[in-house]
Chains A and B, each alone.
Chain A
Amino acid sequence: QKEVEQDPGPLSVPEGAIVSLNCTYSNSAFQYFMWYRQYSRKGPELLMYTYSSGNKEDGRFTAQVDKSSKYISLFIRDSQPSDSATYLCAMTRQAAGNKLTFGGGTRVLVKP
């Protein structure tokens, strides 16, 4: 079993819909959680960074962390075709030298 599980998709939604992404993890020692967006042949772009259970909102993006359930989510409101990309969850802990452990990525397609 992988440390971080993420549905590979593809997840296809119509423009304007809410995109819902999630990851589950097995190591309760993870402290810091990130969501990245990666377009083809580009480096990942950091969307959200959280370190405590609860919600964090930034523009169209909302990140949720539930440490008791070892579950994190990313919601994208008012999705646009430009949001079509692969979304990666990542997490880390200080004791591991801050190395990121990634989910496998979810491919999202927003159709106009």
Chain B
Amino acid sequence: GAVVSQHPSWVICKSGTSVKIECRSLDFQATTMFWYRQFPKQSLMLMATSNEGSKATYEQGVEKDKFLINHASLTLSTLTVTSAHPEDSSFYICSARVSTSHEQYFGPGTRLTVT
């Protein structure tokens, strides 16, 4: 199957700082990428849809100024958590849709801890 990578896999940052998470499709082109957040023992919560070359579409209740998403190429999307606070601590996962079909592949996730 297709491979999606995320970097970093785990990050600890201090309250008030910003953190950038990268999501890459390694062996396919992805015109659409999605960003999710997952709390322990809960299902994935969609945060935003990212289309290459255009502005991201955020789900209701997600602060677009806090969670900045950039999809600069067909293989890379980034999520920047700005002015992070402890309540932003979570597991962030991206997925990428294969351009020629509707399959979606997920990255391994990034664990963010804000102290």
> B-contacting residues of A (Cβ < 8 Å)?
31-32, 34, 36, 41-46, 49, 51, 88, 90, 92, 94, 97-100, 102, 104-105
Contact = CB atoms under 8 A, between A and B. Distances in A.
Nearest to A90: B104
Interface residues of B, number: 24
Interface of B is mostly: strand
Interface stretch (B41-49, B66-74, B76-84): B41-49
A21 to B, nearest CB: 15
Given A99-B46, A104-B43, A46 B91 contact: no
Interface of B: 1, 4, 6, 32, 34, 43-44, 46, 49, 57, 91, 93, 95, 97, 101-109, 111
A46 B1 contact: yes
Which of A32, A43, A49 has the most chain B CB within a 10 Å cutoff? A43
Contacts of B107: 43
B104 A34 contact: yes
16 contacts: A34-B103, A34-B104, A36-B106, A41-B109, A43-B106, A44-B93, A45-B1, A46-B106, A49-B101, A88-B44, A97-B57, A98-B104, A99-B46, A100-B46, A100-B95, A100-B104
